[in-house]
């Protein structure tokens, strides 16, 4: 297969690119990035099948021309509330399958509206195949198969602030704490305040317990489209809770409710975060997610808790690489725009992620390894 990695030289894209470069099924891998020097440097380290080109996601014609002729495009250009729909449209126009790590709820809503265009073009657009959404959706899909009737999917994520260096992550974090965000409750979408309903959740170590809040993520947008379920919630939080409190405060003061405000705040925090992290950096950093499912199984009400942990780049980049491979191998027959839970075989997907180094757990204490066999 021929793959083009859009944003492939970035913090999240690099990990997926490195995984794709090791696969015999990937005959050609082009790293496409606004930073051509970084893309060339990465390509030179990865070997002969890899090359680099410069792309600008704001240049529609250039983007269409860059992706045309490839089998699959991997999308890691953020922030996704600015770029997901633009990149997806370019791939649809070029007739190229697209797999992204999109983690913004409004971007997911926008790109889902392109479903008809993608179907007509015979293109699969799989939005949100990273850590959360992505691993979370696929844990939900795997777990849903253990229930006769699924009622609730509660998704949560937690991470150390210093577990990533990506600047787009800061844009995303400020964005998801702002204003009202979607949740799926009692069979319908409702809008709730970001940063509300604080809850202490246990994740796999070394993340452990984290205060989490309602935040803006795509799981409540895509999962209800895929499963017959009454409730889908999403909460998240940073291990260092003062960052969560700061995010909520910025939202309450309406400092982050516009694109301009978000970008100004993001630039400020990207400048000062390295100094703040030195004051409270843990010995080991990680990111984690947890999915709690409830419903009826064996004629009685049951609860199943599933989780995963790794460094953020692995937990985000590897699943996207796995999904790209599965599309290129012909394991996805669906066409149109969808979340990963709607089209990827969960057992195969999670097993490949596990082989790549992501750790999976089950149980309320998040200590028992998950047996995927």
Same domain, 113 and 139: no
pLDDT level of residue 373 (50, 70, 90 thresholds): confident
pLDDT level of residue 41 (50, 70, 90 thresholds): very high
CATH of the domain at 251: 3.30.360.10
Same domain, 246 and 146: yes
In this prediction, residue 47 carries a pLDDT of 84
User: Do the strands 180-185 and 2-6 form a parallel or antiparallel pair, or are they unpaired?
Assistant: unpaired
Same domain, 126 and 34: yes
Looking at the predicted structure, is the pLDDT value of residue 283 above 90? no
pTM: 0.91
Using alpha carbons, select from 133, 110, 71 the residue that is nearest to residue 342: 133
For residue 150, the enclosing domain spans 135-310
In this prediction, residue 170 carries a pLDDT of 53
Average pLDDT in the 268-288 region? 65
Question: Rounded CA gap, 295 and 163, in Å?
Answer: 34
Same domain, 96 and 159: no
Question: What b-and-e string marks burial along 330-366, b requiring 16 or more CB atoms within 10 Å of the CB?
Answer: eebeebbbbbbbbbbebeebbbbbbebebbbbbeeeb
Same domain, 79 and 189: no
In this prediction, residue 240 carries a pLDDT of 81
How far CA 311 is from CA of 74, 165, 362, in Å, comes to: 20, 11, 19
In this prediction, residue 63 carries a pLDDT of 98
260 or 209, greater pLDDT: 209
Structural domain count of the chain: 2
DSSP string, 78-112: S-HHHHHHHHHHHHHHHT-EEEE----HHHHHHHH
CATH of the domain at 43: 3.40.50.720
In this prediction, residue 278 carries a pLDDT of 55
Same domain, 14 and 33: yes
């Amino acid at each position: 297969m021929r793959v083009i990695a859009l944003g492939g030289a970035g913090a999240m894209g690099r990990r997926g690119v490195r995984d794709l470069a090791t696969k015999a099924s990937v005959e050609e891998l082009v790293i496409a990035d606004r930073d051509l020097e970084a893309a060339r440097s990465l390509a030179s380290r990865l070997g002969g099948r890899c090359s680099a080109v410069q792309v600008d996601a704001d240049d529609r014609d250039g983007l269409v021309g860059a992706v045309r002729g490839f089998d699959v495009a991997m999308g890691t250009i953020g922030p996704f509330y600015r770029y997901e729909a633009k990149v997806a449209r370019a791939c649809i126009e070029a007739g190229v399958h697209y797999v992204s790590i999109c983690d913004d709820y409004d971007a997911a809503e926008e790109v889902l509206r392109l479903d008809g265009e993608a179907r007509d073009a015979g293109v699969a657009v799989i939005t949100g195949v990273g850590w959360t959404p992505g691993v979370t959706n696929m844990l939900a899909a795997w777990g849903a198969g253990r229930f006769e009737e699924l009622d609730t999917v509660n998704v949560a994520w937690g991470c150390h602030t210093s577990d990533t260096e990506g600047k787009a992550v800061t844009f995303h974090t400020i964005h998801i704490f702002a204003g009202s965000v979607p949740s799926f409750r009692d069979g319908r979408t409702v809008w709730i305040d970001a940063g509300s309903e604080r809850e202490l959740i246990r994740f796999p170590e070394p993340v452990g317990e984290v205060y989490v809040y309602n935040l803006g993520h795509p799981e409540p947008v895509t999962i209800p489209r895929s499963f017959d379920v009454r409730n889908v919630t999403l909460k998240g939080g940073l291990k260092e809770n003062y960052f969560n409190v700061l995010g909520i405060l910025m939202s309450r003061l309406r400092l982050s409710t516009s694109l301009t405000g978000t970008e100004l705040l993001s630039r400020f925090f990207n400048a000062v975060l390295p100094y703040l992290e030195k004051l409270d950096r843990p010995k080991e950093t990680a990111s984690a997610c947890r999915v709690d499912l409830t419903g009826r199984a064996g004629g009685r009400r049951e609860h199943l808790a599933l989780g995963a942990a790794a460094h953020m780049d692995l937990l985000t980049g590897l699943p996207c690489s796995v999904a790209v491979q599965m599309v290129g191998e012909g394991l996805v027959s669906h066409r149109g725009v969808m979340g990963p839970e709607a089209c990827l075989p969960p057992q195969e997907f999670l097993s490949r992620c596990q082989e790549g180094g992501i750790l999976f757990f089950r149980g309320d204490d998040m200590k028992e390894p998950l047996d995927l066999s």
